[in-house]
Structure 1
Amino acid sequence: MATLIVGATGATGKQLVEQLLSMGQKVKVIVRPSGKIPDTWKNNDKISIIKANISEISVNEMMNYLIDCQSVASCLGHNITLKGIFGKPRKLVTDAVKLLCIAIQKNSPDKPVRFALMNTTANRNRDLNEPISIGEKLVMGLIRFFVPPQSDNEKAADFLRVNIGQNNKLIEWVAVRPDTLIDEGNVTEYELYASPIRSALSDPGKTSRINVGNFMSRLIVETDLWNKWKGQMPVIYNKET
C-alpha cells in the first residue's frame, strides 16, 4: 500500500516524502505539471509521480489515484506572494481536502484511510477549550478577513473535524499544527501537545519543517502513534535547548 501526498514539492511536503522514502514506504505525489521535481525522485521505484493541477482533478480521477493507498497527506499551502495570498484558488487546501475525502468515501476502502493534514497553530481546535484573549480574537478576525490563506486553513481542518468527524468508518484524520516554520538540516527533538502552550501571535514557538515531516511520516507508519492522535489537532514545537 502507498501514501498519496499533495503539496509534495513544497518546503514541508518534500521533507515528508523523504522521510517516508527513508522508511521504505511507497509514495505517490501529485505535482503541478510545471513543478520542479528532485532528481532523486525520478529514478526511485518507491515513488510514483502524477503531474496534474489538484484543482483540475475530477473525483473519478482521484478515486483511481487513491485505489491502492492506505494513507493520504496534505502539505498544501499558499505561496507567500501577492498572487499566492490573494489570488485564486483561495480555497486551495479546503477544496483539496474535500476532493480527497469524497474520493476516499466513494472508493469504500476495506479499512479506514489515514488522512494527515498540515495545518497551523493560528487555527484553534474548536472541539477543545483553547482559550484566546479578546485582543487576539480581534486580531485573528482581521487576519481571517484580510489574509485568505488563514480562512482556508481553518475551513480545511473544520471539514475534517465536523464533516468527517470522529466516527467515520472510511476516514481517520489528524491535523498537525506547527508554529513558525523554519528550515533545519536534521530531525531534532520536538514536543507534542493537544493544544498550543503559547500564543501564536504574541509568543510564537518554532517548528522545523523536517520535524513536521518526521512527525507526519511517523503518524502514517506507526499505528500506536496514530491511535494516540487520531481525531485531534496536535501542536508540534521544536524542543528548546
Structure 2
Amino acid sequence: MNVLVAGASGATGRLLVTQLLNAGHQVKIIVRMTSNIPGEWQQYSQVNIIRTADITAIPVQEMAEYLRGCQAVALCLGHTMSFKGIYGKPTRLVTHVVQLLCAAITQNAPEKPVRAVLMNTAGNSNRDLNEPVSFTHKLVIGVLRLLLPPHADNEQAADYLRVKTGKQHPFIEWVALRPDTLINQEAVTPFSLHASPVRSALFNAGQTSRINVAHCMYRLITDDTLWHQWKGQMPVIYNS
C-alpha cells in the first residue's frame, strides 16, 4: 500500500511511519525543512521524504502529485506546546492541511476512495452523535475554544471531514481518531475503541499511549474489517 503521512516527524507520526516501513509499505512523508527524522528511515528503499518550509503553502496541484498513487493518508499534525506553537501562525494548521489534502485527492479523482485518518482528540465532541456533556464541561470547552487556538483547530479539522467531506464522498473515506491524555510507552499494548468517550476528557481523563495511537492508525489504514467498522466516525481510543 502507498501511504502519505503528514506530521511524520512528530512523536506519534514517527511511530506510525516506522510501523508502515517495517511492514513493507510504500511511504511518502512530508516534513519541515528543519525537522529531524530517524536516520534509519533512509535505509528503506520504499520511503520518499518530501521537505517543505510550510506544508500549508503547498499548492493543490503539487499536493495532488504527491498523492498520486496513494491509497491512504495519515495526518499526525499538531501544534508545538510553546507560546509560538500555540499562538503563532498558522493557527489553523491541521484544518488547512485537511482542506488541502481533501482538495488534492478530489482533483486526482482516484478510482477507489482514499482512506484519510486524522489524529484528533477526545476533548473534541462528535456532534453527529450529540454526545452528552455537562454544563461545566461545555463552559470549559468554550473557554478553551477562545483562548487556545489548537483546540479550535482540532474541532474545525474534524468538522471539515464530518460536514464538508461527509460520509458519501466519491473519492474520500475518513476516520478521526480521538485519543485521550497522551503518554509515552515503549511497546503496543491492548487498547479499546469507543464511538464516544466513556469518561470526561476534562474531569476524569483516561490515557492513550502514542504508540497505541500509531498502531491503531496503522491498522485502520491496512485492515479492511477495522476500516469498514469505523469509517465516517470519530472513535475514541483508550489504553485498556
1:193, 1:56 → 2: CA distance?
35
Preserved contact between residue 181 and residue 205 of structure 2 (Cα < 8 Å): yes
1:188, 1:39 → 2: CA distance?
26
**What residue ranges of structure 1 are gaps of 5+ in the alignment?**
none
One-letter amino acid of the structure 1 residue matched with residue 169 of structure 2: N
Q: How does 1:106-145 map to 2 (within 5 A)?
A: 106-145=107-146
Preserved contact between residue 124 and residue 154 of structure 2 (Cα < 8 Å): yes
Cα deviation, 1:125-168, whole Å, max 9, x if unaligned, reads: 00002101011101100001000000000000000000000111
Cα deviation, 1:84-118, whole Å, max 9, x if unaligned, reads: 00110000000000000000000000010000000
Indicate whether 1:172 and 2:173 are aligned: yes
Please list every run of at least 4 consecutive aligned residues from structure 1 whose deviation after the TM superposition is greater than 6 angstroms: none
**What residue ranges of structure 2 are gaps of 5+ in the alignment?**
none
SS in 1 for 2:89: coil
Cα deviation, 1:161-203, whole Å, max 9, x if unaligned, reads: 0000011110000000000000000000001100000000000
1:218, 1:30 → 2: CA distance?
21
Q: What is the RMSD computed on CA atoms of the aligned residues?
A: 0.7
1:120, 1:133 → 2: CA distance?
18
Preserved contact between residue 21 and residue 44 of structure 2 (Cα < 8 Å): no
1:136, 1:226 → 2: CA distance?
31
Aligned residues: 239
Residue aligning to 1:152: 153
Indicate whether 1:94 and 2:103 are aligned: no
Preserved contact between residue 61 and residue 104 of structure 2 (Cα < 8 Å): yes
2:81, 2:34 → 1: CA distance?
18
Residue aligning to 2:6: 6
Residue aligning to 1:224: 225
1:113, 1:157 → 2: CA distance?
17
One-letter amino acid of the structure 1 residue matched with residue 82 of structure 2: T
